[in-house]
Structure 1
């Protein structure tokens, strides 16, 4: 895989935003396979479409690409119009997201992270406080990926090194059960997975209960946090994310 952009494409371009969009979209179309079905490449939608940037002709998965100079801080990623983004995420054909980080000095790809759509919730879309100048009702937004569990950020390229496709496919498939969850239920599962990320490989119920206060702030309408914790642990056990060892002890199942 060639990690360098084709700089010949930007002759005559002056806008930095147009330059990086042209370079990054060309690179992705030439180099990246479908993480869902394994097709050797994905295709770009036509210009001025209101759907995602790319799609897989074989399995119909859609993808949007977000690019930035330098590695991500793992927090907020600038996005487009707030209302449009909310509608896009709630649509039946909602997209998966590629987050590409490049080095500006030589226009080379340093990192490519895939966030599958089954990890995305509307709570992750954060409106900015100020509307665009002259457009009082037009709010832009950011995507807050800091709330995602680590399993929701699948690396295809890390520190300018390509991750084996088999690893990517496995990580993609392991959490497809989230697509069957309703939005509210999925929010709880993602929160629990985020908590479990902070625990050692083997942990017990009391260690999970330590997140009770954090979860009560995140889900203020729920007055039975410990009951909900046990319920979510059972779901994650049934989906082979964790294994119950007995006696209130659990172990993470490696991806």
Structure 2
């Protein structure tokens, strides 16, 4: 995988944003591959596709690309808030590629967050634009990557190191069970999973119970938080995310 952008493509371009769009989209089309089935190259949608940039002709996975100079941040700017909520609630929402690049126009990081990790929890509403703005009243959103479990951040390139393709597809496929859950059930699984991420490799049930108040804030209509925690731990155990060691003790699996 060549991490350098093909700068010959943008001779004559003057707009920085247009230059990066052309370079990054070309790089993904030429060097990227489908994390679901490993097929390469990815196909590009036409400019009239409103919610995705690429798709896999083999398995039909869809992808939207977000590119940024320098470091990968936890907060990613996105489009309209209401549109984003409608998108993640639909059946054909894309997964998101996030790409960061250096001042030398080479890829630093390239990762995918599969679409089943997108819930309303990670979409942060921005303040409406002021009355003097060209789009007065428009409400945008940010994507909060801190709310995504580490297993949902699948790196194809990390700190300019290309990850083994088989490891990428393995990590991607391990979480596909989330797509079979309802939005509510998936939200619970992801919320408990995120709590586990904050614990050591080995942990116990009481440590997860300590997040009960935090989970109650996210699910105010549920009065059986500890029961839900145990249910989600069983799901994560059955899917090979954690291992039950007995007597309320667990271990994360890598």
TM range (shorter): over 0.9
Listed one character per residue, the Cα deviations across residues 32-62 of structure 1 (whole Å, up to 9, x for unaligned) are 1111111121111112322410000111000
Q: TM-score, normalised by structure 2?
A: 0.94
Conserved? CA contact 2:128–2:137, under 8 Å: no
Distance in 2 between residues matched to 1:48 and 1:15, nearest whole Å: 21
Listed one character per residue, the Cα deviations across residues 154-186 of structure 1 (whole Å, up to 9, x for unaligned) are 111011010000110110111111001111111
> Matched residue of 1:203: which SS?
strand
Q: TM-score, normalised by structure 1?
A: 0.94
1:219 Cα deviation from its structure 2 partner: 2.2
1:193 Cα deviation from its structure 2 partner: 0.9
1:76 Cα deviation from its structure 2 partner: 1.2
Match of 1:214 in 2: 214
Distance in 2 between residues matched to 1:3 and 1:148, nearest whole Å: 26
**Structure 2 unmatched ranges of 5 or more:** none
Match of 2:118 in 1: 120
Distance in 2 between residues matched to 1:208 and 1:22, nearest whole Å: 46
Deviates more, 1:6-15 or 1:158-167: 6-15
Match of 2:139 in 1: 139
State the number of aligned residues: 252
Match of 1:48 in 2: 48
Match of 2:155 in 1: 155
Match of 1:60 in 2: 60
> Matched residue of 1:113: which SS?
strand
Match of 1:21 in 2: 21
1:92 Cα deviation from its structure 2 partner: 1.7
1:217 Cα deviation from its structure 2 partner: 2.3
Match of 1:91 in 2: 90
CA RMSD, 1 decimal? 1.4
1:137 Cα deviation from its structure 2 partner: 4.4
1:189 Cα deviation from its structure 2 partner: 0.7
Deviates more, 1:122-131 or 1:233-242: 122-131
Listed one character per residue, the Cα deviations across residues 53-75 of structure 1 (whole Å, up to 9, x for unaligned) are 000011100000000011112x2
Match of 1:185 in 2: 185
**Structure 1 unmatched ranges of 5 or more:** none
Conserved? CA contact 2:202–2:252, under 8 Å: yes
Listed one character per residue, the Cα deviations across residues 215-243 of structure 1 (whole Å, up to 9, x for unaligned) are 22222222221111111111111212112
Match of 2:107 in 1: 109
Divergent runs of 4+, >4 A = none
Whichever structure has more strand as a proportion of its residues is: 1
